[in-house]
Amino acid sequence: MQFESAARSGGGVAAAAAAVAAVDDAGARRPTVGVVLGSGLGAFGDTLARKVPYAEIPGMPQSTVQGHAGNLCLGDVEGVAVACLQGRVHLYEGHGPETVVFGVRLLAALGCRAVLLTNAAGGIAEGFAPGDLMLIVDHLNLTGTSPLLGPNDATVGPRFPDMSRAYDAALCERARVAARARGVALREGVYAGMLGPAYETPAEIRMLRTLGADAVGMSTVPEVLALRHAGVRVGAISCITNLAAGISKTPLDHAEVEATARRTRDAFVGLLGAWIVGVGAEVAP
């Protein structure tokens, strides 16, 4: 197996220095809370004051996926300084796992103490419906890879990071409180991270259900690994954009994923804003 350059390997936070400088040039306050916006969920980024196109950030990979803008958005949410990746890159685009996590390592390097990840996912659990929001309480890494492969930079984190509490209990509780306050129903479950880009077969979905998955998607897991390695607290919410293969009566397509994400936009943006305010209080120095 070919590893990406040793300079990047495990040392992504250090390698993000030039990227940090580019963000500082934008003149925004250093963030304490980071956010990653998934397929069709980018609208929240437009509520923030400043946008730095990924093309202006050295080393930042560009998403090729429809529905993923390429901007780092910076701003304030009720006094909480936020940095938000409006669009991410995925393993299935052909990027190595380290490239996929460049953006979240940049959020860590900027000073984010917590990062809230969002994604579009297929619903597997009984009773899930398109448009539901699901708090991720744990995951299955079925991508077959990890951004932590290769030499470890012990200044960033340990060789064998603990993943027994990957999704921060206090941040999960903040999400439940925010959802109640906004009157938004929030389901909970386990997210299975797949390589993609093909959607799963019905047999694979039966397998994932047996393994304990409630939802399935093609992102997030590498980001959680990189962030937990670096000691950053993580919370994550899936927008269930479709029922998974074999449960859905119709063939899956990306247009449906985007359309459902757009339909849930207002509930989602409201919940995210309230969650950020709670998380800002949680991680305040």
Q: Would you name the residues annotated as active-site residues?
A: 39, 68, 90, 92-93, 120, 218-219, 242, 254
For 265, other C-beta atoms within 10 Å of its C-beta total 16
In the numeric block, which tokens belong to residue 281? 């209080």
Residues 6+ apart with CB under 8 A from 255: none
Beta carbon of residue 206, minimum distance to ligand HPA (angstroms, whole number): 14
**Between 174 and 213, how does the x/- string for binding to ligand HPA read (CB under 6 A)?**
--------------------x----xx-------------
Report long-range pairs for 247-251 (Cβ below 8 Å, ≥24 apart).
247/123, 247/124, 247/205, 248/122
Binding to ligand HPA (CB under 6 A) within 123-142 occurs at: none
77 sits near ligand HPA (criterion: CB under 6 A): no
52: left (phi over 0), alpha (psi -120 to 50) or beta: beta
Do the beta carbons of residue 138 and residue 167 sit within 8 Å? yes
DSSP assigned state of 107 = H
Residue 109 or residue 120: which is nearer to ligand HPA going by CB?
A: 120
Using the minimum distance from each CB to ligand HPA, give the nearer residue, 108 or 120: 120
- Return the number of the residue (9 or 241) whose C-beta is nearest ligand HPA: 241
Angle, CA of 220, 282 and 214, to the nearest 5°: 35
Of residues 96 through 125, those in contact with ligand HPA by CB under 6 A are 120-122
* Residue 64 phi, psi (nearest 5): -105, 5
Residue count at the site for ligand HPA (CB under 6 A)? 14
**Whose Cβ is closer to ligand HPA: residue 200's or residue 223's?**
200
Site residues for ligand HPA, window 234-253 (CB under 6 A)?
241-242, 244, 252
Applying CB under 6 A, the residues found at the interface with ligand HPA are 120-122, 194, 199-200, 216-218, 241-242, 244, 252, 257
